[in-house]
């Protein structure tokens, strides 16, 4: 899967979970940039992403992401 | 040496003078700061200063080893080293703070089932600030493991982070990265920092000496003699206690933050007007912020992630454990355990209803203040906090139970009031409420001053604060209320 | 750096102005207040010119009725005592301030063990109540230095009134009736269940004893007739807790009237408000009794300079 495709899919999941229809994600986006994205919604997002891509992250991986770019790198390694 | 004492004033004036004379030599400044921090801590207990140094060294070495292990792709080794550091940190906390409590409880439980064990508790002195600096130590190794920070090669810098005297005794609990970034450069003399810092120290002194210590005169008089007081008096004392705690703790945090700022360091905020919140989750995000966020990042999040497949139940379990830890962090007694559980239980309706995961915005009316429904929710939240703090305040479970049983008996008693104490506290509380309301809902407004005085706004404010501290502050421990019983 | 120094100077200047002007306003309110502390301390320090002063702790405050005593003694009387377990530190400083204005003819000092024992509940800090009178007399300043208040009071006039703003603002509605000339009557009766005698298991405090003796010397130097008194308590200790006072008085050739175990009062619940303070009825009865005894000691000597032979009544 192409990186851009992953980004698009991730963006879709975020939009669904955070109920933000016009959210736009880039590699540099962090939780500070999106008001609804905090430590609580983070876990919900993880669960939704795991379902969407049919993968499983380790706790360490989840805690290591600093921005969307890290997240996408992690996903691309797994699929 | 408490911050609002004359001894500290002399200490700090000397420290400031030498500290800024050292500049721009970063090494000299940092060395001097470290010496001051250890001297300050040694004044309280010289043996514990030794413990502090040992723990600092241990964690520095572990941190270095973790980074090396990660660099060499030895994941398992890094993981084990991190676990080791957590065991050491929790172990130190457990030994000094909780060992007696757990053994006493175990013995008591054994006696209940007929096993007669004898145990004379050994007198273990809890090092002051232990709960604070062990958390800083553990966040260092955990952050290295998760890639949030790099190992600090300069041992002196790391030691400064752990022993930093403004925050070592009662927080705020700083994270490694922001502090280590600041210690890496010399702090140059900056008049703005000195004045801004001093303003915060003054405000902290006002909160502590004029509100917290003043309320304490009444609250302690009633609480420590609850069997002689009516339900009304106990009720009032309980309602004032959260306010007293807020003024006391945020006052102390303000002083710590102010002193740090005068030394050129920006440390984390600890309070954000916690009584303007509408549910318990909100409350904890604004009360003792650095503790809540530490536990959120290092306890709740990992737990929540591990249990994420259980859905809401997983989050509930994570919260209950998290809140229990928050409770127990405060002290070694069942009252603190129940305090944590009590707060955890209040999260459940929030999570089940989904409110926990959404940020409810407080609706404002035309004037710019919260509408009545939201104001009532704030009051309700305050009452929830009040009951929890009654548990917190009691010396032990039996005292708490005694007080509850005493309430219906003393239902028709009269209200004990000491007017002088109440009026003093009320005047100062009005100032606090005014300030908090302004910061929360009217952050851009300023107190009106005539045009010619505008230039001296800051100076006028500070002179007024000093006068108010002198007029309303509690300066001795010999205050008593003439109460006949 | 220069900017900072300007800030500091301006703040200090503004503080000095605000402190002095607020202090003046507070002093004005202090003198007019009818709250117990404000009235008693200010009137005793600044205004009274009565011939006979009654000084001591709250026991003196509640027990000595000037109206009755003036009749018995034929001279103007003022009850200069205050509550809050005031001890010799306070009395000595107060005397110093009074002597700056005038010399009373006689002083009746109601003594309490906190005047010579190391009582933890009443110590040097009691002199802190003289804070508004910092700078009036050397004796008072010495006491304030012992209490640790001297320098803060010297530097800040507002600090002298710390914590007392409510009493000053609402002073008009204070409980003291100025017509009673300093006496504060207590209405009510003691609840006798479980009442025990107060004990004083403390060592002798040489500093306080020295102050007591200086108090006596100062009175002698100014030709003030000094009489020590001990009023009754509801229930008495088995120990002779006032022996020290009687011995000290005898050493200085001063009369000491001891009614501690007076059977006319001890165990009479109707005369007491609590274990150590008599109520209105008890105070009036006691004042009549002690007034007669004081009259015997004083009337001949009010205008004489040499001290009479002391009588120790029982």
Is A59's CB within 8 Å of B356's CB? no
DSSP state of C257: E
pLDDT at B178 over 80: yes
Strand partners, C272: C278
pLDDT of residue B122: 65
Q: For B193-215, how does the pLDDT look when each residue is reduced to its tens digit (9 = 90+)?
A: 999 999 999 999 999 999 999 99
Q: What are phi and psi of C141, to 5 degrees?
A: -65, -40
pLDDT in tens, B385-409: 999 999 999 999 999 999 999 988 8
pLDDT at B485 over 60: no
Q: Please indicate if any CB of chain C lies within 8 Å of the CB of B464.
A: yes
Return the pLDDT at C306.
42
Confidence band of B37 (pLDDT split at 50, 70, 90): very high
What's the mean pLDDT in B36-54?
91
Lowest mean pLDDT among B356-360, B427-431, C257-261: B356-360
Give domain A3-78's CATH number out of 3.40.1370.10, 1.10.1200.10, 3.40.50.1820, 3.90.700.10.
Answer: 1.10.1200.10
Give pLDDT, residue C167.
Answer: 87
Start-end of H helices in C43-157: 58-63, 66-73, 88-99, 138-147, 150-155
| C182, C79 Cβ separation under 8 angstroms | yes
The pLDDT value given to residue B269:
96
Give the per-residue pLDDT at A62.
Answer: 86
List, in order, residues 6 or more apart from C17 with CB less than 8 Å away.
Answer: none
Which tops the pLDDT comparison, C314 or B58?
Answer: B58
Residue of B nearest to C147 (CA): B476
**More confident call, B126 vs C86:** C86
Among B147, B306, B357, the residue with its CB nearest the CB of A40 is B357
Subunits with 3+ C-beta pairs closer than 8 A to C: B
The string of DSSP codes covering B443-478 is: TT------GGGGGGHHHHHHHHHHHHHHHH----S-
The verdict on a CB contact (< 8 Å) between C159 and B470 is yes
B475 and C CB contact within 8 Å: yes
How far from chain centre, in Å, is Cα C245? Answer: 17
- The pLDDT assigned to C105 comes to 95
Q: Which of B79, B301, B315 sits opposite A63 (nearest CB)?
A: B301
* Domains of chain C with CATH codes: 2-301 (3.40.50.1110)
- List, as one string, the DSSP characters of B403-417: HHHHHHHTTTPPPP-
CA distances in angstroms from C243 to C248, C250, C251, C260, C293, listed in the order given: 9, 11, 12, 11, 20
pLDDT at B18 over 80: yes
pLDDT for residue C62 is more than 70:
yes
pLDDT score of B382 more than 60: yes
**In this predicted structure, what is the pLDDT of residue B23?**
77
Which element (helix H / strand E) includes B335? Answer: helix B334-353
Looking at residue A25, its pLDDT comes to 87
Rounded-to-integer distance, Cα C30 and Cα C9, Å: 31
CB-CB contact of B48 with B128 (8 Å): yes
C307/B350: higher pLDDT: B350
Query: ipTM of the assembly?
Result: 0.84
pLDDT value at residue B119: 67
- Would the pLDDT of B4 be above 80? no
Chain C residues whose beta carbon lies within 8 Å of the beta carbon of residue B424:
163, 165-166
From CA C17, how far away is CA B464, in angstroms rounded? Answer: 11
Q: How many CB atoms lie within 10 A of CB B301?
A: 20
pTM of the model: 0.88
Contact with chain B for residue A36, Cβ under 8 A: yes
Cβ–Cβ contact A45 with B under 8 A: no
For chain B, give the mean pLDDT: 90
pLDDT at B38 over 70: yes
Closest alpha carbon to C231 in C261, C190, C269: C261
pLDDT on residue C314: 41
The confidence score (pLDDT) of residue B120 equals 66
In the predicted model, is pLDDT for residue A24 greater than 50?
Answer: yes
Give the pLDDT of residue B423: 94
Residue B104: pLDDT over 90? no
C165/B471 Cβ within 8 A: yes
Residues of C with CB under 8 A from a CB of B: 1, 3-4, 7, 10-11, 14-15, 18-19, 22, 83-84, 125, 128, 152, 156, 158-159, 161-167, 169-170, 274
Q: Does the pLDDT of residue A41 top 90, yes or no?
A: no
pLDDT at residue A16 tops 60: yes
Percent of chain B with pLDDT over 70: 96
**Pairs of residues, one from chain B and one from chain C, whose beta carbons lie less than 8 Å apart:** 72
Report whether pLDDT(B313) > 80.
yes
Q: Residue B455 CB: number of other CB atoms within 10 A?
A: 11
Query: Residue A37: its pLDDT value, please?
Result: 80
Average pLDDT over residues B80-97: 93
Cβ-defined contact of C1 to B476 (cutoff 8 Å): no
Predicted pLDDT at B228: 86
Mean pLDDT, rounded, of chain A:
86
DSSP letter for each residue of B15-84: HHHHHHHHTT-HHHHHHHHHHHHHHHHHHH-HHHHHHHHHHHHHHHHHHHHHHHHHHTT-HHHHHHHHHH
What is the structure's pLDDT at C84?
A: 87
Question: Do A47 and B296 make contact, defined as CB atoms within 8 angstroms?
Answer: no
Q: Read off the pLDDT of each residue in B266-291 and give the average, rounded to a whole number.
A: 95
Q: Give the residue-averaged pLDDT of C165-170.
A: 89
Please, are residues A34 and A17 in contact by the beta-carbon 8 Å criterion?
Answer: no
At C187-209, the pLDDT tens digits run: 999 988 888 999 999 999 999 99
How far is CA C114 from its chain centroid? Answer: 12
CB of B467 closer than 8 Å to CB of C158:
yes
């Amino acid at each position: 899967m192409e990186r851009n495709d992953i980004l698009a899919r991730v963006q879709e999941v975020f939009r669904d979970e955070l109920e933000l229809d016009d959210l736009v994600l880039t590699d540099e986006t962090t939780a500070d940039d999106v008001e609804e994205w905090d430590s609580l919604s983070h876990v919900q997002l993880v669960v939704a992403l795991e379902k969407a891509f049919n993968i499983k992250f380790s706790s360490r991986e989840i805690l290591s992401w600093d921005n969307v770019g890290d997240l996408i790198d992690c996903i691309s390694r797994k699929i | 040496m408490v911050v609002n004492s004359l001894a500290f004033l002399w200490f700090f004036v000397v420290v400031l003078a030498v500290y800024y004379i050292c500049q721009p030599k970063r090494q000299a400044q940092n060395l001097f700061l470290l010496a001051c921090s250890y001297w300050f801590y040694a004044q309280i207990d010289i043996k514990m200063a030794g413990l502090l140094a040992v723990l600092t060294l241990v964690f520095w070495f572990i941190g270095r080893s973790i980074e090396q292990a990660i660099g060499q792709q030895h994941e398992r080794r890094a993981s084990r080293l991190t676990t080791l550091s957590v065991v050491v940190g929790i172990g130190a906390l457990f030994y000094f703070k909780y060992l007696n409590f757990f053994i006493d409880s175990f013995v008591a439980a054994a006696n209940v089932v007929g096993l007669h064990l004898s145990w004379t508790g050994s007198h273990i002195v809890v090092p002051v600030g232990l709960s604070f600096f062990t958390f800083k130590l553990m966040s260092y190794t955990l952050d290295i493991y998760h890639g949030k920070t790099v190992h600090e090669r300069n041992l002196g810098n790391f030691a400064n982070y752990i022993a930093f005297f403004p925050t070592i005794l009662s927080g705020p609990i700083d994270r490694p990265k922001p502090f280590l970034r600041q210690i890496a450069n010399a702090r140059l003399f900056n008049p703005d920092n000195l004045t801004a810092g001093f303003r915060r120290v003054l405000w902290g002194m006002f909160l502590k000496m004029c509100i917290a210590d003043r309320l304490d005169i009444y609250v302690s008089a009633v609480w420590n003699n609850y069997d002689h007081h009516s339900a009304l008096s106990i009720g009032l004392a309980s309602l004032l206690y959260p306010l007293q705690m807020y003024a006391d703790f945020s006052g102390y945090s303000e002083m710590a933050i102010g002193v740090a700022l005068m030394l050129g360091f920006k440390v984390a905020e600890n309070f954000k007007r916690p009584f303007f919140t509408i549910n318990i989750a909100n409350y904890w995000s604004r009360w003792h912020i650095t503790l809540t966020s530490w536990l959120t990042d290092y306890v709740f999040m990992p737990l929540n992630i591990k249990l994420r497949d259980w859905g809401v139940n997983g989050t509930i379990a994570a919260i209950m454990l998290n809140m229990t830890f928050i409770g127990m962090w405060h002290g070694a007694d069942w009252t603190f355990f129940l305090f944590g559980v009590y707060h955890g239980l209040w999260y459940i309706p929030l999570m089940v209803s989904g409110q926990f995961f959404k940020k409810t915005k407080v609706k404002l009316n035309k004037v710019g203040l919260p509408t009545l429904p939201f104001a009532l929710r704030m009051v309700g939240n305050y009452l929830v906090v009040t009951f929890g703090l009654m548990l917190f305040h009691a010396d032990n479970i039996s005292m708490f139970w005694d007080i509850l049983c005493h309430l219906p008996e003393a239902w028709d008693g009269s209200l004990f009031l000491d007017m002088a104490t109440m009026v003093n506290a009320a005047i100062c509380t009005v100032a606090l409420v005014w300030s908090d309301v302004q910061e929360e809902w009217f952050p851009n407004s300023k107190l009106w001053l005539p045009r010619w005085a505008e230039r001296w706004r800051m100076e006028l404010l500070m002179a007024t604060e000093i006068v108010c501290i002198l007029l309303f502050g509690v300066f001795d421990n010999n205050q008593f209320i003439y109460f006949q019983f | 750096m220069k900017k900072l120094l300007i800030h500091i100077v301006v703040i200090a200047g503004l503080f000095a102005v605000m402190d002095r002007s607020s202090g003046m306003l507070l002093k004005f309110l202090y003198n007019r207040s009818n709250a117990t502390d404000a009235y008693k301390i200010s009137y005793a320090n600044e205004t009274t010119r009565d011939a006979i002063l009654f000084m001591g702790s709250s026991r003196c405050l509640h027990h000595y009725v000037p109206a009755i005593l003036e009749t018995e003694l034929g001279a103007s009387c003022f009850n200069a005592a205050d509550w809050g377990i005031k001890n010799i530190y306070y009395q000595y400083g107060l005397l110093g301030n009074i002597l700056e204005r005038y010399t009373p003819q006689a002083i009746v000092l109601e003594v309490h063990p906190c005047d010579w024992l190391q009582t933890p509940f009443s110590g040097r800090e009691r002199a802190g109540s003289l804070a508004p009178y910092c700078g009036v007399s050397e004796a008072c300043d010495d006491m304030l230095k012992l209490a640790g208040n001297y320098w803060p009071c010297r530097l800040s006039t507002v600090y002298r009134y710390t914590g007392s703003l409510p009493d000053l603002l609402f002073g008009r509605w204070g409980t003291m009736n100025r017509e009673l000339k300093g006496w504060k009557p207590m209405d009510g009766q003691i609840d006798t269940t479980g009442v025990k005698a107060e004990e004083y298991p403390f060592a002798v405090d040489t500093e306080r004893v020295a102050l007591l003796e200086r108090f006596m010397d100062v009175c002698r130097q100014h030709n003030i007739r000094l009489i020590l008194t001990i009023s009754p308590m509801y229930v008495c200790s088995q120990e002779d807790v006032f022996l020290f006072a009687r011995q000290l008085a005898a050493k200085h050739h001063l009369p000491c009237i001891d009614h501690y175990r007076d059977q006319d009062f001890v165990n009479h619940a109707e005369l007491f408000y609590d274990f150590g303070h008599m109520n209105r009825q008890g105070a009036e009865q006691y004042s009549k009794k002690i007034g007669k005894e004081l009259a015997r000691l004083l009337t001949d000597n009010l205008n004489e300079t040499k001290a009479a032979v002391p009588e120790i009544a029982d």
